Amino acid sequence: ARVEQIDNPINGAKKEYFPLRKRLKRECCSTTVILTLIICVLAAVGGIFFLRVVLSVFNFGSYFVSIINAVQIQIFNYIYGMAAEKLTLWENHETDTQYEVLFDC
């Protein structure tokens, strides 16, 4: 992330500064990505419910749908973990504490 050098108002030394406008723009993009992922999860869950209804006539249908549901949970868990880490790092938080708090959310 490209940061600017500004004078520290307290001691006059140079300090790295990431402009608020850029930070807000990145946070908006991150929110959009997360909302898109949530919509994908809702669509997958809806598809699983539909599949459960369609396959309910077969004896093995419930087991099959349960396996698909478990796989879907693992896949989205992996995707969310990667996205959360990359997006939080991309937002370029000023301190490690800010990074950790927002990453845990």
The pLDDT tens digits for 35-72 are 999 999 999 999 999 999 999 888 888 889 999 999 99
Q: Is the pTM of this model over 0.95?
A: no
94 Cα distance to chain centroid: 19
Q: Rounded CA gap, 41 and 76, in Å?
A: 7
- Residue 99 CB contacts under 8 Å (≥ 6 apart), including other chains: 88, 89, 93
